[in-house]
Amino acid sequence: MRRSAVSAATRASADGSGWFCEMVRSELTSAPLGSSRCTSDVHARHTGLNLGPVRVASVAFSRVCSRRTATRVRRDGPGSYQLALATQGAFNIARLRNASVVAGGLVLTDTSRPMENVCLSDYGAVEAIVLEIPRTVLPLRSDRVDRILAEPSPVHTGTGGGTAEILADFLHSLHHHGPRCGPDELPRLGSVALDLATACLAQRLGAEARDETPAEAHARAMLQRVLQFIDDNLHDRELTPQAVADRHNMSLRGLYTLFRDQPTSVAESIRRRRLARCHAELARPESGHRTVEAIAARWGFASATAFGRAFRNAYGITPGEHRAAARSLSTAPCVQQISR
């Protein structure tokens, strides 16, 4: 099995139905779709990335109706779960006698069950990021998971809480940055995605499912929650390991244990993230009116001297030298054009 692969396809044609279904069959899921009804002039786009235990795909399509019949399901075999983050448009998803309209948020489907999806044309094209999870990999009881199939769940509010929002952010990051990662990194990212999805689904299912979730999945989900909290509060000079531990109702020792297998400690993670934000902002032309000291303070550094020393140790040049180099690069094309 390929551990990493990126695929992309785009098509707009009058006979797009067969092409689109074949593309979904071969790229989005190992279980083929059943019969489909599509209007003419089908527009569709797909990109996919293998992440070891799971696969993430981004799909966009218009005016598509797809159906999986019981006969097709029996012929296809076990199938997989698909956790979709709807980012644009809306579609109707029908399973058994239940039907739901998905317009944003997360929805879980099972390719081993009959279902029908219909793109609602009034909402425009549908776009979604889909995490495909083999049924044998998800560490939750299938009879419990069945309860939330085809039921939309909001990302920012309601059941699932912060875990759903962190999962959504992570899926967006995988979609945008995953193709640039090396083959050794992709399976690790897949493990994180699986753990976050497990924690999110367990949160929706209640206490019994959370108790069944492996400790490793809980720990990785908590680590992602902590890192997200750190990223959201880098501007706060009071952001310390103790503050992070207090915010997440854990002891300082528990927080250190959470970071035990990470390449950096909690404090070092905070410092490196602050430096990275400063490094990026110093290179932006729109931040040219801000002094180096102001940018350092903006991202939580209390001492300009300490910031300058840390920046030089991390990047080998001073903040001022980095800003000057970025300015020279941004103006170089203009100078060439004038010289002509």
Is there a domain that residue 215 lies in?
no
Looking at the fold, whether 181 and 295 belong to one and the same domain comes out as no
Is there a domain that residue 240 lies in?
no
Is there a domain that residue 292 lies in?
yes
Each residue's pLDDT tens digit in the chain (340 positions)? 333 344 444 444 444 445 455 555 544 444 343 334 444 555 667 788 898 889 999 887 776 666 666 776 666 666 788 898 988 877 667 665 566 666 678 888 888 777 666 665 565 678 889 999 988 888 888 888 888 887 888 876 444 447 888 888 899 888 888 888 888 888 888 988 998 898 888 888 876 666 666 777 778 778 888 988 999 899 999 999 999 999 888 899 999 998 988 889 999 999 999 999 999 999 999 999 999 999 999 999 999 999 999 999 999 999 999 999 988 886 655 434 333 3
Whole-Å CA distances, 319 to 174, 281, 301: 30, 11, 13
Last residue of a domain, one of 184, 208, 232: 208
Is there a domain that residue 256 lies in?
no
Q: What is the pLDDT of residue 223?
A: 87
H helix runs in the chain, sequence order: 16-23, 70-76, 142-145, 161-177, 186-205, 207-212, 215-232, 241-247, 252-258, 266-282, 292-298, 304-315, 319-339
Q: What is the pLDDT of residue 123?
A: 59
- The domain in which residue 330 lies consists of 268-339
Last residue of a domain, one of 188, 208, 228: 208
Is there a domain that residue 241 lies in?
no
Looking at the fold, whether 173 and 68 belong to one and the same domain comes out as yes
Is there a domain that residue 220 lies in?
no
Is there a domain that residue 254 lies in?
no
Q: What is the pLDDT of residue 154?
A: 80
Last residue of a domain, one of 208, 236, 260: 208
How many Cβ atoms from other residues are within 10 Å of residue 319's Cβ?
Answer: 23
- The first and second tokens of residue 165, run together, are 């929002």
Looking at the fold, whether 175 and 309 belong to one and the same domain comes out as no
Is there a domain that residue 13 lies in?
yes
Q: What is the pLDDT of residue 140?
A: 85
> Structural domain tally of the chain?
2
Looking at the fold, whether 119 and 201 belong to one and the same domain comes out as yes
Q: Please, what is the Cα angle at 135 between 143 and 3, to 5 degrees?
A: 165
